[in-house]
Structure 1
Amino acid sequence: MTRKTLPTAFAAAAVLAILGGPAAAQDNFNTTIQEGQINTNDTFQRGTLNDNATYQEGRDNANRTRQRGDHNWNQTGQFGRYNYNETRQQGFSNRTSLTRGRGRD
Structure 2
Amino acid sequence: MRSKILQLSDKASSFLSSGNKAEAGSIYKIIKQLERNLYHAFSTTLLHTCETLLKIYLELQDWWTALTYCRLTIPVYERVYPPFHPMIGLQFYTCGKLECLGP
Whether the TM-score (by the shorter chain) exceeds 0.5 is no
Which has the larger share of helix?
Answer: 2
Structure of higher CA gyration radius = 1
Which has the larger share of strand?
Answer: 1
| TM-score normalised by L of structure 1 | 0.27
